[in-house]
């Protein structure tokens, strides 16, 4: 566990970061609601997107653009109350049988119990890289920022500006890294009560439906991929593209360790029962 002094410093940072406003982009311009038969709605002149789930169907959306690397923020407010059985997924993914994918999934729970933030990374169609966390706040009472920094060096998951997970490019060790397939942003709210809450023991209470998740303040500093050409190709040295070479500084590394020491509840890299023949190779990387 972190020292009380370190804990206090982190909490101070969390309070300060909650006051920082993210720049927003219009949902009408950037996304299409792709399924749900009207259960997904864009409102407030394009500033707010809401997904809903009832017993008949969930809903989802995807970005109009494809990206090959990006620094992507989205504010989410998750399903409140008894959200057991529901999953709100927010992720990047390419297409095809050897797809790449970078996942945030929020697993609902009974009222009073914490959400589980589930993360995973797929490369060339292979995942099994799950890490799970509790959050240090209630994600249902207000909006919080969930970010993916994806550049040629690494992938960093962050919550309200706090890094929670890093996946490094270790191609020199023969470990695939997602760098060749453009990905869209996707999100969906759906029923997964066969596995989402306590391994499927707790089922969705449909008397609580419809369930709602809300989105705002999407912001992407990213390389848009179109017709085989990246928008970053002509201005790769621009200050706006500093994220392409961004690394975790010592302060960010301390915050990452604090989250992992205090809020990580599952790490595939410590699951010897799951990998009796040896942990995945990337787990040896500090």
Give the active site residue among 75, 101, 166, 282. Answer: 101
- In the numeric block, the tokens 């927010």 are attached to 90
Contact 79, 52 (CB under 8 A): no
Contacts of 95 (CB under 8 A, 6+ apart): none
- In the numeric block, the tokens 């992938």 are attached to 155
Alpha helical stretches, state H, 18-140: 27-30
Contacts of 12 (CB under 8 A, 6+ apart): none
CA trace torsion 190, 87, 279, 265 (10° rounding): -170
Helices 4-17/250-262 angle, 10° precision: 110
Give yes or no: 282 in active site: no
Give the active site residue among 105, 166, 171, 282. Answer: 105
Q: Which two tokens stand for residue 151?
A: 């550049």
Q: Which two tokens stand for residue 258?
A: 């604090």
Helix (H) or strand (E) holding 11, with range, is helix 4-17
Q: What is the DSSP letter of 140?
A: T
- Reference 157, options 190, 131, 134; nearest CA is 131
Query: Whole-angstrom Cα distance, residue 142 to residue 214?
Result: 10
Give yes or no: 101 in active site: yes
Contacts of 256 (CB under 8 A, 6+ apart): 162, 163, 164, 165, 166, 248
Total H helices, total E strands in the chain: 3, 16
List, by residue number, the catalytic residues: 101, 105
């Amino acid at each position: 566990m972190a020292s009380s002094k370190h804990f206090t410093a982190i909490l101070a940072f969390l309070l300060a970061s909650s006051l920082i406003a993210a720049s927003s982009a219009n949902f009408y311009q950037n996304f299409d609601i792709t399924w749900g038969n009207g259960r997904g709605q864009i409102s407030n002149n394009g500033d707010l997107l809401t997904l809903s789930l009832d017993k008949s169907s969930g809903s989802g959306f995807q970005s109009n653009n494809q990206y090959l690397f990006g620094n992507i923020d989205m504010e989410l407010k998750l399903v409140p109350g008894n959200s057991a059985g529901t999953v709100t997924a927010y992720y990047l993914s390419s297409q095809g049988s050897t797809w790449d994918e970078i996942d945030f999934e929020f697993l609902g729970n009974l009222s009073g119990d914490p959400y589980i933030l589930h993360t995973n990374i797929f490369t060339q169609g292979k995942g099994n890289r799950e890490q799970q966390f509790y959050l240090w706040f209630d994600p249902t009472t207000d909006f919080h920022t969930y970010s993916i920094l994806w550049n040629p060096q690494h992938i960093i998951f962050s919550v309200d500006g706090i890094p929670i997970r890093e996946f490094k490019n270790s191609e020199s060790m023969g470990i695939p890294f997602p760098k060749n397939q453009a990905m869209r942003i996707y999100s969906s709210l759906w029923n997964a009560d066969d596995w989402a809450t306590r391994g499927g023991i707790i089922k969705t209470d449909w008397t609580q439906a419809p369930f709602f998740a809300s989105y705002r303040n999407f912001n992407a500093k990213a390389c848009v991929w179109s017709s085989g050409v990246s928008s970053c190709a002509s201005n790769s040295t621009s200050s706006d593209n500093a994220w392409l070479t961004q690394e975790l500084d010592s302060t960010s590394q301390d915050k990452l360790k604090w989250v992992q020491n205090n809020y990580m509840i599952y790490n595939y890299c410590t699951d010897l029962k799951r990998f009796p023949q040896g942990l995945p190779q990337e787990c040896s990387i500090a």
